[in-house]
Structure 1
Amino acid sequence: MAFTEHPLRRELVHEMHLRRFAPVDAPSRLVQMVFLIGEDQREAEQALLSSPPLTPLSSKHETRHAVFEFPGDVTMLWERQTEATTITLISSETNSEGMIPLLEWLGGWPGAVLRATKLFVVGSESNAEQLLPGMGFETADLVSCHVCGGVRVWSDFRIREDGYGRLLVAAQDRQPDDLGRIVQRLQELGNYRNLALFGLPPVQRLMPELNALEARLAKHAQALADDDAERDDEDLLRDLSKVSAELARLRSENSYRTSASQAYAQIAADRLDALDVRPIDGFQSLTDFPERRLVPATRTIETFTNRLRRLSERSGDAIALLNTRIDTRIKAQNLELLRSMESSFNLQLRLQNLVEALSVIAASYYAVALIAYVAKGVDAFGKEDHVVDIIIALAAPLVILTIFLLVSRIRHRFIRETETAVHRSGKGQAARAMIDHKKGL
């Protein structure tokens, strides 16, 4: 190539060609099964695809899609989705017995079946009318309508004794490729409908738990608003934290399922729009049936998700408000403590000044006494009278002043060193207050 190709280009183009459905002739028989498969079961699934017990005539096997051609004009389509696998068997009406060995083989497929349907495709509505009595449809639940410009479908969306649902399709002279796409849309509508409803039972089971958590949160919020002095804020914070943790657990355990259900419901709605449903008088249509149950189920899941999100936000707001109140009380207590420390510092400073003054007097007294001893020693050598008294009188003020200046210098040096350490650490309001008082004194 004369250009640099993006590494994702071929993967994106390949993605557009996935979900291919084989052509469907009329009359024909189809069986489709949707398996929910965990990631730990994917390896076993790949092993079955790589070495099936029935040797196909030909196969086109890809990472997420495979087509197998078996003897007896039977085609098997395999498609892998995010959390499910869809397997479809297609055969002509005369060779439908060839699917029996494959159906027995699929009984050992990993995972659990979420939907299993048998489709009967005929060429015209008159042919379909002949098959209707033997289909066993419930008249009260029968859905029948035209789709895609004339193709008529019948089903009651019930599970029969053999574990399969039934769907009857009158092709009305459609070409095989076109009919294959219509059948694919019909099946995807049912598959995504079931996948969307898959999130409803967990939500219904969790509703009482969510109601209880909402009641507990309302009770704690009321206690926070009442500001009951007898209620310990620490206990209230602990209770709110427990409620918040329970809500977080519910969100983490169910967020994927609820989000997936909403996405599947949207895809089902898109498939329904693509079918261009036209109702028939006296029957429910494919539009009426999903709206009767799928739409309420989807709204229930959406309501649960919104309630869970709002309760999580409310619990977070309550915890933040309670933390603010606790911080305010702690700051008030710290202020009272600083005030008591300030009073103590003032008393200590006064005592310290008194001790310093007394120390100056005591040091001066001993210094003068030493000078007096020296002077008396000089007087012992026979010098003039009163010299000793003169020296003592002159030395006493000088000694007192010197000692005072020395003590003051030591004190100011200590204050500067302490102030530097306080500013470096960025802490110690009480220490700054002590330094300011010392400077003032």
Structure 2
Amino acid sequence: MSARLDCLDIHPLRDDLYNELHSRPFQVLPTPARVTQMAVLTSPEQRRQQFLHLQQLHRQLGYPVPEHEVGCFEQTFGNLRVRREMHMEFATYTFTNLASGDESPFLETGISLLPEGWLEQLTGTIVAAFHLEIRPATEDAHGDLAYVRQHFEGMRLVGSSPQEGAARVWGTFKLHSDGFGRFMVMNHHMSDSQLGRLTQRLMEIETYRLMSLLALPVAREITPALNDMDQQMATITQALADKQDVDEQELLAQLTNIASRIEAFRAHSTFRFSATRAYHRLVLTRLEELREDELSGHLTITEFMTRRLTPAVKTCEAVSERLEDLSRRVDRASDMMRTRVELAIQSQNQQLLSSMDRRSKIQLMMQHTVEGFSVVAISYYLVGLLKLGLEALYDAGFDFNKSLVLGIAIPATLLLVFFGVRTIHNRFIKLAKRQ
């Protein structure tokens, strides 16, 4: 009897993990076909509006309306196929015109079969928008090239022969007079499934290329401010290194201002720079999957991207690294300032303790002097009392030499008072030490 999983503890996301790899299947495209893809930056509210907009398309074309939004939605409306894919910060719409026709390329496109006015109501910010024309190739490579040139408005072509010559791909990576980019695929002997995978990679390369470049204007905007802050940090660090008499409060205010500006720039750019690195890696991966062969006299897509896209991405990475470096330098300068202030405070404390020690010694000497005077004063009063007592005894009939007795009593009284004061003084010192 085969084992069953019903009685075992199944992870609640197990089905989702299995389905994830199949959530965005490759399209199957015939030859000829016309494809239009648009990448739209969206907010959560705009995504909700886009789904309502997609439901409206179903109503207009008389098809059942989808009730739940999914990450990858695809529906065929006769000769029109609509595919919507949700990504982290954008959505892609792929419109495929499956109608066979002999019209000139790019006269009819993937969006030609959409109801009038529907596309204009799409919410979001368009980043990428391009047409892709799929045509059968002939054996005359030069004739195909001449045919292709007619439809790219005289712009310089970038082309290659991917998948070991199974097709030829042409594009300009520029906007044409209709506001769209253009690609043309001349199919030699690719199956519909292979052609779908090829076009999917081309569309992803173009979309991720543009998404990765969104950080370049941010990098250019930040760079002048970074140069100014870099110079300020060099001045502050040099002042601290030269041990100059500087205003710590002013330097601390400058460091605080620089740190706040850096954090503002980081908050504004960290996600964008991270996204650029991720999109660039995706572009490189898709380029490797193309397995391009060079077409004589033309840059391949990989060569074009390496020459144009990679420097832009490196610029963004350099600005991101400068931000992190400046942040670390501000931290180190702040540590130096704190150390400088702590040393100054310690020096002041040491001077204060030395001053207190000197005052304590002076107070001790004064105390000893006062103790000497107090011994004399106490002895004087005691001798005066003793004198009164001796006179009383003498008047009472006791016969003795008052002057001799009084002379002997004076040094004895001084000694007794002195040792008494010292005993009390020592007792207080011992008590202080015990506490």
Q: Give the TM-score range, shorter chain.
A: 0.7 to 0.9
CA-CA distance at 1:83 after TM superposition: 0.8
CA-CA distance at 1:328 after TM superposition: 2.2
Q: Any stretches of 5+ residues in structure 1 without a counterpart?
A: 421-441
Partner residue, 1:254: 269
1:220-244 Cα distance to aligned partner (Å, 9 max, x none)? 2233333333x42332333233233
Deviates more, 1:310-319 or 1:210-219: 310-319
Deviates more, 1:173-182 or 1:231-240: 231-240
Aligned match for 1:348, one of 353, 363, 386: 363
Partner residue, 2:238: 222
Cα distance in 2 for partners of 1:136, 1:305 equals: 37
Structure 1 residues 400, 174: CA separation in 2 closer, same or farther (over 3 Å shift)?
A: same
SS of equivalent to 1:333: helix
TM-score, structure 1 length as denominator?
0.82
AA in 2 matched with 1:188: E
Aligned match for 1:91, one of 89, 97, 110: 97
Instruction: Report if the CA contact (8 A) 1:137-1:156 is conserved.
Output: no
Cα distance in 1 for partners of 2:126, 2:194 equals: 28
Structure 1 residues 387, 399: CA separation in 2 closer, same or farther (over 3 Å shift)?
A: farther
CA-CA distance at 1:134 after TM superposition: 5.1
Instruction: Report if the CA contact (8 A) 1:138-1:156 is conserved.
Output: no
Partner residue, 1:194: 210
Structure 1 residues 14, 364: CA separation in 2 closer, same or farther (over 3 Å shift)?
A: farther
- Mapped pair 1:311 → 2:326: yes
Partner residue, 1:409: 427
- Mapped pair 1:17 → 2:25: no
Instruction: Report if the CA contact (8 A) 1:58-1:69 is conserved.
Output: no
Partner residue, 2:39: 34
1:349-388 equivalences in 2 (<5 Å): 349-367=364-382, 369-370=384-385, 382=396, 384-386=398-400
1:106-161 Cα distance to aligned partner (Å, 9 max, x none)? 3222211001111111233469669636523435x112211123121111122123
Structure 1 residues 128, 42: CA separation in 2 closer, same or farther (over 3 Å shift)?
A: same
Cα distance in 2 for partners of 1:19, 1:165 equals: 24
Cα distance in 1 for partners of 2:397, 2:196 equals: 140
Structure 1 residues 103, 3: CA separation in 2 closer, same or farther (over 3 Å shift)?
A: farther
Q: Any stretches of 5+ residues in structure 2 without a counterpart?
A: 1-5, 102-108
AA in 2 matched with 1:69: T
- Mapped pair 1:211 → 2:216: no
CA-CA distance at 1:387 after TM superposition: 10
Instruction: Report if the CA contact (8 A) 1:27-1:123 is conserved.
Output: yes
- Mapped pair 1:122 → 2:147: no
Instruction: Report if the CA contact (8 A) 2:376-2:414 is conserved.
Output: no
AA in 2 matched with 1:217: M
Instruction: Report if the CA contact (8 A) 2:55-2:65 is conserved.
Output: no
AA in 2 matched with 1:65: C
Cα distance in 2 for partners of 1:401, 1:240 equals: 65
SS of equivalent to 1:21: coil
Cα distance in 2 for partners of 1:408, 1:103 equals: 109
Instruction: Report if the CA contact (8 A) 1:155-1:168 is conserved.
Output: yes
**RMSD of Structure 2 on Structure 1 (CA):** 3.1
- Mapped pair 1:110 → 2:127: no
- Mapped pair 1:264 → 2:273: no
CA-CA distance at 1:255 after TM superposition: 1.4
CA-CA distance at 1:16 after TM superposition: 1.8
Structure 1 residues 23, 364: CA separation in 2 closer, same or farther (over 3 Å shift)?
A: farther
Cα distance in 2 for partners of 1:360, 1:138 equals: 118
Cα distance in 2 for partners of 1:228, 1:175 equals: 76
Structure 1 residues 125, 342: CA separation in 2 closer, same or farther (over 3 Å shift)?
A: farther
Instruction: Report if the CA contact (8 A) 2:215-2:273 is conserved.
Output: yes
Aligned match for 2:70, one of 48, 52, 63: 63
Cα distance in 2 for partners of 1:387, 1:106 equals: 137
SS of equivalent to 1:107: helix
Cα distance in 1 for partners of 2:27, 2:68 equals: 14
Structure 1 residues 20, 253: CA separation in 2 closer, same or farther (over 3 Å shift)?
A: same
Instruction: Report if the CA contact (8 A) 1:364-1:403 is conserved.
Output: no
Structure 1 residues 58, 135: CA separation in 2 closer, same or farther (over 3 Å shift)?
A: farther
CA-CA distance at 1:28 after TM superposition: 1.4
Deviates more, 1:43-52 or 1:285-294: 43-52
Cα distance in 2 for partners of 1:175, 1:235 equals: 72
Instruction: Report if the CA contact (8 A) 1:30-1:118 is conserved.
Output: yes
Cα distance in 2 for partners of 1:356, 1:99 equals: 114
Aligned match for 1:76, one of 73, 82, 90: 82
Deviates more, 1:105-114 or 1:27-36: 105-114
Cα distance in 2 for partners of 1:161, 1:79 equals: 27
Tell me the number of residue pairs that the alignment of Structure 1 and Structure 2 aligns.
413
SS of equivalent to 2:76: strand
